[in-house]
Amino acid sequence: MKFLADHMFGKLAKELRMLGYDTLYYRGESGYPFIKLAREEDRVILTRNSKLLPRKPEDRIVRITEDKLSLQLRELILKGYVSLNEQKLYSRCLLCNAPLDQISRDEAEGKVPDFIFYQHKEFSRCPQCLKIYWPGSHLDHMKIKMKELFG
């Protein structure tokens, strides 16, 4: 499942990336180019725009009705679009959507704060923006949050 989020859903897009879903965030208007992109890349559209209607059988448009981020995520879970896969948590860059590369501990040295470097063994890096990620406490928070959401 891949997503294309419209300009209303920047935060939701990040949250989906955190869960490991390939999610593009579209800053333009949700007109024809928007639908075309979703078709070309086989993405499910996330929008609030009630005028945006499927025109071809392959168009998949999910209308998000909730305002709060956690409820929006829950809405996608209840509708069956999103599920929890712990293996995929934090496998993508939250900023670029690119799949992260595992890097050796040596490669992370000097590029992350020292206390982080000494506390962690595993690091990964975004091939696009070169941001380095590590499984920090935010991952545990995320797991707890996900367990609540996914029941």
In terms of residues, how long is the chain?
151
DSSP 128: T
Q: Does 126 bind Zn ion (CB under 5 A)?
A: yes
- CA 54 to chain CA centroid, nearest Å: 23
Q: Does 101 bind Zn ion (CB under 5 A)?
A: no
Size of site (CB under 5 A) for Zn ion: 6
Binding mask 46-85 for Zn ion (x = CB under 5 A): ----------------------------------------
Q: Does 100 bind Zn ion (CB under 5 A)?
A: no
Q: Could you tell me which of 19, 71, 79 has the C-alpha nearest to residue 45?
A: 79
Q: Roughly what angle, to the nearest 10 degrees, separates helices 137-150 and 69-78?
A: 50
> Of 70 and 128, which has the nearer Cβ to Zn ion?
128
- State the residue for tokens 């997503």: 3
90: left (phi > 0), else alpha (psi -120 to 50), else beta?
left
Among 1, 37, 62, 96, binds Zn ion (CB under 5 A): 96
Q: How far is the CB of 15 from Zn ion (least distance, A)?
A: 16
> Of 33 and 136, which has the nearer Cβ to Zn ion?
136
Residue 20's alpha-carbon distances to 1, 62, 86, in angstroms, are 10, 19, 9
Q: Does 93 bind Zn ion (CB under 5 A)?
A: yes
Query: Binders of Zn ion among 127-146, rule CB under 5 A?
Result: 128-129
Q: Which residues bind Zn ion (CB under 5 A)?
A: 93, 95-96, 126, 128-129
